[in-house]
């Protein structure tokens, strides 16, 4: 199976303030806030959901191409993708926009202040899902709203099974829009908070959502995940992390595991474990695309974690 990964590309600039925001922000002056933080530590990471998913899927040996819109400043990211053998054939550069960017400042209490510029991501709807390009599986991950709507419709019209992964884009959609996505998609993957939000907005229980899908996947962090499929609820254990360096991007790595498992025709118990382990390996390294493994080493760890071969 060949997968089309629709979603965002972004630069994440992460800065660490070696103090506490609470000591610098006066509660009675927040209406006239004007503060400056010295950030001696800073790093720039390659991110965005499509980029992150494609990176982990490549490590697993899966077959996938990311599709997204990027800006005039994409050269460094393009070189990174080329270095790791990730296709850029379905990327569109918007010459009068910057690549989406997040500027994140973290204090010593792990509080964060984030500014996000969508930039080229707002042009996602200008990309079209190809109907006759040998694509057997897709994913609609967080992106510009119009792009997410259009790509879901295009997958459905082409008869291509796809995963709907609303993620941080979920607040953009009302109940009617979410119902539409559920009817179009084959799979829905969310964390437990997002699942509750969808229930609030649609009135659907987990079981009712699953009845309209091939599978509903709900992640629960260190408690593992639940997969609702074919009238069953499968409990998937979490793999045990050797370090908790950075949770950012773990969901994207998990989704890469879902895609790989579906491509390999694995059963849902195995797919869930593959996805869990991919997310766990990511959390052990800072950044979203700094983890490394071979398929052989992944299989060895899978056997160590779950006491069975990955088949």
Rounded to two decimals, what is the model's pTM? 0.95
pLDDT at 144: 97
Predicted pLDDT at 29: 83
Phi (first) and psi of residue 247, to 5 degrees? -80, -15
Helix (H, G, I), strand (E, B) or coil at 28: helix
Residue 90: pLDDT band (50, 70, 90) is: very high
Q: Does the structure show a pLDDT above 90 at 31?
A: no
pLDDT at 247: 86
Domain boundaries, the chain: 2-9+48-97+119-303
Compute the residue count for the chain.
311
Q: How many CA atoms lie within 13 A of 58 on its CB side?
A: 19
Confidence of residue 277 (pLDDT cuts 50, 70, 90): very high
Between CA 63 and CA 40 the distance in angstroms is: 40
% of residues, the chain, pLDDT over 70: 100
* Average pLDDT across the chain, whole number: 96
In DSSP terms, 104 is beta-bridged to 14, 114
CA–CA distance, 98 with 95 (Å, rounded to integer): 8
pLDDT for the residue numbered 131: 87
Q: What value does the mean pLDDT take over residues 290-306?
A: 98
Q: Are 168 and 142 in contact (CB under 8 A)?
A: yes
278 pLDDT above the threshold of 90? yes
For the segment 13-34, the average pLDDT, to the nearest whole number, is 90
180 near 208, Cβ under 8 Å?
Answer: no
* 21, 45, 101, 181 from 38: Cα distances, Å: 12, 20, 20, 44
| pLDDT, tens digit, 9 for 90 and up, residues 159-191 | 999 999 999 999 999 999 999 999 999 999 999
Rounded to a whole number, what is the distance in angstroms from the first to the last CA of the chain? Answer: 17
What confidence tier does 37 reach under pLDDT thresholds 50, 70, 90? very high
Cβ atoms 12, 45 nearer than 8 A: yes
Mean of pLDDT values over 84-97: 98
Average pLDDT over residues 68-74: 98
Residue with the bigger pLDDT between 75 and 131: it is: 75
Cβ contact 234:272 at 8 Å: yes
Instruction: Indicate the CATH number for domain 2-9+48-97+119-303.
Output: 3.40.1190.20
10-16 and 41-47 beta bridge pairing: antiparallel
| More confident site: 311 or 173 | 173
For the ranges 31-45, 49-63, 182-196, 223-237, which has the lowest average pLDDT? 31-45
| pLDDT digit string, tens, across residues 123-158 | 999 999 998 889 999 999 999 999 999 999 999 999
What is the per-residue pLDDT across 200-246, written as a single tens digit (0 to 9) for each?
Answer: 999 999 999 999 999 999 999 999 999 999 999 999 999 999 999 88
pLDDT the model gives residue 231: 97
Q: What's the pLDDT score for residue 279?
A: 97
Confidence of residue 105 (pLDDT cuts 50, 70, 90): very high
């Amino acid at each position: 199976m060949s997968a089309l990964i629709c979603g965002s590309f972004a630069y994440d600039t992460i800065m660490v303030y070696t103090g506490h925001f609470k000591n610098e922000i006066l509660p009675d002056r927040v209406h006239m806030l004007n503060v400056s933080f010295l950030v001696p530590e800073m790093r720039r990471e390659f991110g965005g959901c499509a980029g992150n998913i494609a990176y982990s899927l490549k490590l697993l040996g899966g077959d996938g191409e990311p599709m997204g819109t990027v800006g005039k400043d994409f050269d460094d990211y393009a070189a990174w993708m080329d270095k790791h053998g990730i296709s850029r054939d379905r990327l569109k550069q918007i010459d009068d926009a910057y690549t989406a960017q997040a500027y994140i400042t973290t204090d010593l209490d792990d509080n964060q202040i984030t500014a996000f510029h969508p930039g080229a991501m707002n042009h996602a709807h200008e990309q079209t899902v190809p109907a006759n390009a040998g694509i057997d599986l897709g994913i609609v991950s967080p992106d510009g709203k119009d792009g997410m709507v259009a790509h879901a419709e295009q997958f459905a019209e082409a008869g291509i099974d796809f995963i709907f992964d609303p993620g941080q884009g979920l607040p953009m959609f009302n109940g009617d829009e979410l119902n539409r996505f559920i009817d179009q998609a084959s799979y829905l993957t969310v964390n437990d908070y997002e699942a509750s939000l969808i229930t609030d907005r649609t009135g659907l229980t987990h079981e009712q959502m699953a009845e309209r899908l091939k599978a509903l996947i709900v992640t629960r962090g260190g408690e593992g995940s639940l997969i609702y499929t074919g009238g069953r609820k499968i409990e998937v254990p979490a793999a045990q992390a050797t370090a908790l360096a950075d949770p950012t991007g773990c969901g994207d790595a998990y989704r890469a595991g879902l895609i790989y498992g579906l491509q390999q025709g694995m059963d849902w118990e195995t797919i869930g474990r593959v996805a869990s382990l991919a997310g766990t390996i990511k959390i052990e390294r800072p950044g979203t695309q700094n983890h490394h493994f071979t398929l052989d080493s992944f299989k060895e760890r899978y056997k160590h974690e779950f006491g069975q071969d990955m088949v």
